[in-house]
Amino acid sequence: MSTSHKTDRRGFLKGGLSLGALSLLSGCDLTDNEPAQRLLWNMSWWNDRVQAWLFNPNRLAPTYPESAVDRVFRYNAFYPEDEAPKLDPATYKLELSGAIRDKRTWTVDRLYQLPKASQITRHVCVEGWSRIGKWSGCPLRNFLERIEADITKKYVGFICADGYYTSIDMPTALHPQTIMAFTFADQILPRKFGYPMKIRIPTKLGFKNPKFVVALSVTDAYPGGFWEDYGYNWFSGS
Amino acid sequence: MAEGVEGGRADARYLVLHSSAVRITHWLNALAIFIMIGSGWRIYNWEPLFGFQFPVWLTFGGWPEVSQHWHNEQGLAGALQWHFAAMWLLVVNLLIYLVYGVISGHFRRALLPIRPGEIVRDLGAALSGHLVHRVGERNAVQKAMYVGVITVIMLTVLSGLSIWKPVQFQELTAAFGGYDVARYVHFFCMAAIVLFLAVHLTLTALVPTVLPPMITGRVGRRQ
């Protein structure tokens, strides 16, 4: 949901508003009242439950050969690329909170020494587009065990340096392909894709893959998410 | 009391043309298809497969400016919410209809068999204006169109599932040729349904007497 993408469309969308007489036909008025909003939120909550039930912790996302990797990967955020945070490895810290025994903060150096797994998977955006990319980093499960997190809790929440935040269900956090990615396309994770660390989750839509992660929490209290709190489906599994 | 066309009860004054199950599932399906296509067009607009977008007033999912209030964007979230809510209405209603159609004999009576020869014959008759419309009887072209659109709706659901869950249902996604191809399949299935609707609604406009029985179920014997 990039800003530029949206502003491109804004003129186009506003152009349609002059055709107000057709508003009932398009159902716009129906959507914009409170009971309809409640119904839709309840259906989204129901879809969260269905998706949690559909999620198979042992089912791996399809992987692809190196030749399938998209050489030009798409940038996407709620701000333009040149506004992406520029985190300094000398001062960066990953902070831990919630049901975690070892809450010591992590520096870039320590993070990058963690064991790594590599994957070539498809990143699917909620907008419909998809790109195949290569990421590598520490399986989140391995990290959660290392910091002695309570994996009986429901959620793992992430806070990012750009004000973004999101959260995932524990089964997905423990999935073997859910990784703390440190590299993209065999290079240190570039700034625009979330340096120094993003969470790569091939079993979820792109917006559930937070970049510039600076805090991680393990909790039973629903942490929500930036887009999720605006009505995007929370589970958003693939 | 005599048997109605659909096996329901009827008397000397009227025939039961459409059973209540067919009528209810028809209108619920119409509602679901309306929401699915309208919201689907909005979703399409965010990442068009082709060099065009649907006019926003034809799409479903809330006014873009109100969406800014609810969703901090111009209307994708609302369309997605409607799409993933109405899919339940579409699928549950479709399953009820399919089970009913098989068990009640509705499919056997009303839609089958379809013989290619009859389709050609009836299509020729229709185009040359010689096709006789008999109340309660579907010609071969109609049967083929109804069976066709039901099949396409099922394909739309399956291709939609393969886009929604390309990991959990990856075999299905692969059967459609992968994620990107499945999006095209989903689009063309929608296009086929829209084409069906154009013909369906045009014919209803041309022969408006077919509409009341789809609401009341009945048709007077004198018609």
Nearest to B57 among A16, A32, A61 (CB): A16
Contact B168 A28 (CB under 8 A): no
CB A98 within 8 A of CB A154: no
Q: With 50 as the cut, is the pLDDT of residue A5 above it?
A: no
Residue of B nearest to A19 (CA): B57
Per CATH, which fold does A55-230 belong to?
Sulfite Oxidase; Chain A, domain 2 (3.90.420)
* Straight-line distance from the first to the last Cα atom of chain B, in angstroms, rounded to the nearest whole number: 19
Q: What number of other Cβ atoms are within 10 A of residue B59's Cβ?
A: 27
Q: Grade residue A189 by pLDDT with cuts at 50, 70 and 90.
A: very high
- Shortest distance between the Cα of B24 and any Cα of chain A, in A, equals 21
DSSP-assigned letter for residue B100? H
Q: With 70 as the cut, is the pLDDT of residue B6 above it?
A: no
The confidence score (pLDDT) of residue A31 equals 54
- Cα–Cα distance for residue pair A102/B177, rounded to 1 Å: 46
Contact B81 A44 (CB under 8 A): yes
Q: With contacts defined as CB-CB under 8 Å, which chain A residues touch B66?
A: 28, 31-32
Contact A17 B180 (CB under 8 A): no
Q: Which helix (H) or strand (E) holds A182?
A: strand A179-184
Mean pLDDT to the nearest integer, A115-132: 96
Tokens of A226: 């930036």
- Cα–Cα distance for residue pair B161/B178, rounded to 1 Å: 12
Rounded (5°) CA angle B30-A29-B190: 35
Rounded (5°) CA angle B168-B91-B85: 80
CB A216 within 8 A of CB A208: no
Q: With 70 as the cut, is the pLDDT of residue B123 above it?
A: yes
Rounded (5°) CA angle B29-A20-B208: 40
Give start and end residues of each alpha helix (H) in chain A.
3-17, 23-26, 28-31, 34-54, 108-112, 140-146, 170-173
- Cα–Cα distance for residue pair A46/A56, rounded to 1 Å: 18
Backbone angles phi, psi at A155, to 5 degrees: -130, 150
Interface test with A, best of B45, B81, B88, B165 (most A CBs within 10 A): B81
Q: With contacts defined as CB-CB under 8 Å, which chain A residues touch B90?
A: none
Contact A32 B38 (CB under 8 A): no
- Shortest distance between the Cα of A170 and any Cα of chain B, in A, equals 17
Q: Which residue has the higher pLDDT, B164 or B67?
A: B164
Q: With 60 as the cut, is the pLDDT of residue A57 above it?
A: yes
Mean pLDDT to the nearest integer, B30-36: 96
- Cα–Cα distance for residue pair A74/B147, rounded to 1 Å: 42
Q: With contacts defined as CB-CB under 8 Å, which chain A residues touch B165?
A: 54, 237-238
Q: With 50 as the cut, is the pLDDT of residue B200 above it?
A: yes
Contact B74 A125 (CB under 8 A): no
Mean residue pLDDT across chain A: 88
State ipTM: 0.84
The confidence score (pLDDT) of residue A22 equals 41
Contact A43 B84 (CB under 8 A): yes
Contacts of B199 (CB under 8 A, 6+ apart): B145
Per CATH, which fold does B2-220 belong to?
Fumarate Reductase Cytochrome B subunit (1.20.950)
Q: Which residue has the higher pLDDT, B50 or A25?
A: B50
Mean pLDDT to the nearest integer, B5-15: 60
